[in-house]
Amino acid sequence: PLPLDVEAIRADFPILTRTVRDGKRLVYLDSGATSQKPRSVLDAERWFYENVNAAPHRGAHALAEEATGAYEAARATIGGFIGAPDREIVFTRNTTEAINLVAYALSNAATAKEEEFRTYAVGEGDEIVVTEMEHHANLVPWQQLCERTGATLRWLGLTDDGRLDLSDLATVVNERTKLVAVTQQSNILGTINPLGDIIARAHEVGALVLVDGAQSVPHQPVDVTELGADFLVFSGHKMLGPTGVGVLWGRYKVLDKLPPFLTGGSMIEVVRMEASTFAAPPQRFEAGVPMTAQVIGLAAAVEYLQDLGMDRVEEHEKALTGYALQKLAEIPGVTVIGPPDTVARGGAVSFTVEGIHPHDVGQVLDDHGIAVRVGHHCAWPVVRRYGVPATTRATFYVHNGYDDIDALADGIRAAQKFFGTA
């Protein structure tokens, strides 16, 4: 049996009662792109709009006060989920915006008039280190930072079985390195990276570390104190929460020395016509009226996951991943791109089917009611590294069971039959 009660969980997700493609059960294997939402998350957003709706941190009327209370209580819940104090939690639109926030803060630092804001400035001669398995969201912002500042981008490569090649860690991360940006779980290979070694090396040379938690925070317990990085970023919509809200966690003493990214209302201390000063974190990084309902919805998602228990969520997905790897291995012509076993591996299973384009595989699966992702998964260098045009990717979450994986395997066989490759 699986660690989680799949039938009970499915009953919490209204969308899983609908059918697709002429009455077929929806087999949702695309949570890695975005997750479905349990009723409690939908209810939390509706509760806010029906009962409280007002702009937090503005105005003194009853609703404004309650909205501020609900927004800040949600910050505490979400911070608690990763073991962080409230003041280290900054709300952004998604992972992408959280990474851009840090990248722009580091280049803005170079020209900041306040000396303390220049602490982490990136400039010519400095280096930023990423890995070859990063999502475009954790690659392009660093390329752009390097273009703005004259810094150089370096990266750690990959091994043939889908893991980071750390053999040149000590030279790639060196005295010139200002920041290392690395994913905790690959969205395309499923790999869980040995962050301890990377963070230790980065800190040895005085570099900051940003961990992309978009695919880890939803699927495994993550505690920022244990992690030991300087920034952790993730998206609400991939962890049962609403779209439009993401999180930047930053070590307070680092956040406190960073200049703002976006400027405007809420993030200021004193404003005069000539110039302004800025609020302390996290407000310094939250310009404008925030995505209040979405933050409250995300707190409900966090509570849902906490009720299940993140240890059990992780075990559940490990069991599903092991079963999927075994089922796919039984089908001739199917090749998994990424680690072949469940050691240090999460539930993103990318594969190719000999003789059939990944998009065609996805199409046949869709005809069977199975939702998967096809393409380069916003990690183009990875598909290039493994010499494939694209992959078909199944990703698992709390409502998935063995039946979903059986459906996937049957669907792949149906595609082989349809294209006459079996």
Q: Which residues are catalytic?
A: 378
**DSSP code for 151:** -
**Contact between 191 and ligand PMP per CB under 6 A:** no
d(CA 350, CA 348) in angstroms, rounded, equals 6
**Contact between 94 and ligand PMP per CB under 6 A:** yes
**Contact between 183 and ligand PMP per CB under 6 A:** yes
Which one, 97 or 126, has the nearer CB to ligand PMP? 97
**Contact between 391 and ligand PMP per CB under 6 A:** no
d(CA 67, CA 291) in angstroms, rounded, equals 11
Q: Taking the complex as a whole, how short is the minimal distance between the CB of residue 160 and ligand PMP, in angstroms?
A: 21
How are strands ordered across the β-sheet holding 231-235?
A: 89-92, 246-250, 231-235, 208-212, 177-183, 127-131, 152-156
Q: Taking the complex as a whole, how short is the minimal distance between the CB of residue 92 and ligand PMP, in angstroms?
A: 9
**C-alpha neighbours within 13 Å on the C-beta side of residue 97:** 17
How are strands ordered across the β-sheet holding 348-353?
A: 334-337, 348-353, 391-395, 373-375
Of 92-100, 258-266, 326-334, 386-394, which part binds ligand PMP (CB under 6 A)? Answer: 92-100
Which one, 95 or 108, has the nearer CB to ligand PMP? 95
Question: Tell me, what amino acid is at 57?
Answer: H
Of 51-59, 89-97, 113-121, 329-337, which part binds ligand PMP (CB under 6 A)? Answer: 89-97
Which one, 239 or 398, has the nearer CB to ligand PMP? 239
Q: Taking the complex as a whole, how short is the minimal distance between the CB of residue 175 and ligand PMP, in angstroms?
A: 28
**Contact between 31 and ligand PMP per CB under 6 A:** no
Of 144-152, 209-217, 277-285, 289-297, which part binds ligand PMP (CB under 6 A)? Answer: 209-217
**Contact between 180 and ligand PMP per CB under 6 A:** no
**Contact between 215 and ligand PMP per CB under 6 A:** yes
Count of residues engaged in binding ligand PMP, rule: CB under 6 A: 13
Which one, 166 or 245, has the nearer CB to ligand PMP? 245
**Contact between 219 and ligand PMP per CB under 6 A:** no
Cα–Cα distances (Å) from 421 to 96, 335, 388, in that order, read: 39, 14, 18
Q: Which of 412, 382, 380 is nearest to 394 (CA)?
A: 412
Q: What is the 3-state secondary structure (H, E, C) of 234-250?
A: EEHHHCCCCCCCEEEEE
**Contact between 95 and ligand PMP per CB under 6 A:** yes
| Pair of tokens at residue 44 | 């939390």
| Binding test (CB under 6 A) with ligand PMP, winner from 9, 52, 202, 378 | 378
Under 8 Å between Cβ of 222 and 216 = yes
Give the contact letters, 124-143, x = binds to ligand PMP (CB under 6 A), - = no. Answer: -----------x-xx-----
Angle between helices 62-81 and 292-308 (to 10 degrees): 40
Of 75-83, 149-157, 208-216, 296-304, which part binds ligand PMP (CB under 6 A)? Answer: 208-216
Q: Is 351 helix (H, G, I), strand (E, B) or coil?
A: strand
Which one, 179 or 214, has the nearer CB to ligand PMP? 214
**Contact between 90 and ligand PMP per CB under 6 A:** no
**Contact between 374 and ligand PMP per CB under 6 A:** no
d(CA 422, CA 417) in angstroms, rounded, equals 6
Find the binding residues for ligand PMP in span 149-168 (CB under 6 A): none
332 - beta bridge partners? none
Q: Is 257 helix (H, G, I), strand (E, B) or coil?
A: coil
Which one, 94 or 294, has the nearer CB to ligand PMP? 94
Q: Which of 184, 133, 186, 220 is nearest to 397 (CA)?
A: 220
Which one, 131 or 187, has the nearer CB to ligand PMP? 187
Which one, 77 or 183, has the nearer CB to ligand PMP? 183
Give the contact letters, 331-370, x = binds to ligand PMP (CB under 6 A), - = no. Answer: ----------------------------------------
d(CA 151, CA 141) in angstroms, rounded, equals 13
Which one, 94 or 292, has the nearer CB to ligand PMP? 94
Under 8 Å between Cβ of 350 and 337 = yes
Taking the CB of residue 49, how many other CB atoms lie within 10 A of it? Answer: 11
DSSP string, 262-329: S-STTSEEEE-SS-EEEPPTTGGG--SS--HHHHHHHHHHHHHHHHH-HHHHHHHHHHHHHHHHHHHH
**Contact between 235 and ligand PMP per CB under 6 A:** yes
| Binding test (CB under 6 A) with ligand PMP, winner from 131, 177, 187, 350 | 187
Q: Which residues would be at the binding site for ligand PMP (CB under 6 A)?
A: 94-96, 135, 137-138, 183, 187, 212, 214-215, 235, 378
